[in-house]
Structure 1
């Protein structure tokens, strides 16, 4: 996808792991410790955390883990292993991002889901609810991203959305370059995208893929 051709379309069945996962991850095996963590569940996580941090209020912790945001479902956070000036080591969340990045480098968690891996899981848990309530007869689906970000993961998420919705999905790249007209416009709070032939298409659901560097 060049700067002169910043838009393309994917269809159900187009998902290709070679285009959505970095090469070294295609045949990688997930570490058993990491795999076991994903299967813990909230109760076991709370029990383990309470054992390590006796001062924690279990009810507050449970509310945090079970909280379901109304709007900010398409989000991610970063965990860092840090040591303070007193030598205390702990994991902290340092930011919340607008996109769940990292799928392209994540080994398969479920060997029975070799095609879409974590992409499908994120779409089913964070995007499917919006998809269920949308009237796709009013417009189309799109994933919008900027040129600085990861086209591999954008392609993976667009394909996973296409599979889930059984509809084609536009992949739209925005450009930080004054020489080019952006391939989107807004009219009456509705987004439209422009294809290579200059035609505009109304978008019912758009998701923005952006990572803060």
Structure 2
């Protein structure tokens, strides 16, 4: 036995029935049900329920969080931490800049010292306050430098040569006795040769 085919229609809700009487609601319903693919209907949910992509959207857990003191404390702590990080970054930058500046100054000083040493060793430049002789003209002491040592050796050699000449002249020009008293005379001592 064949059952007859019934065309069942879903009953309309009270809202839909009331909307049939309201022209604006009818137009909204027709726009919502419209087909064709070129229009996407976005139903306005009201100001209390904005879309999640909207700037007005806020989750329900945050909506009812009314502890403003805790929020303000958290905001101040975040602001303080941000300022501390900025200050720490600036401090590090200043320290690194100072380290670089001191290294550059040390390099410049080292280069100047090398340049001065080269000039002093090759051309006698940079010795304006140094005396030309390697001894102190007031105390007549030799300088404790290599030039002072060489000057002392030269002076000792000159003294040795003068003593040797004096010995030779005395031994060759004088006789073996004193002419005035007639006593035997002693010749001068032969000086020791310096190293």
Structure exhibiting the larger radius of gyration computed from Cα positions: 2
Larger proportion of helix: 2
Assess same fold via TM > 0.5. Answer: no
Larger proportion of strand: 1
State the TM-score bracket (shorter-chain normalisation): under 0.3
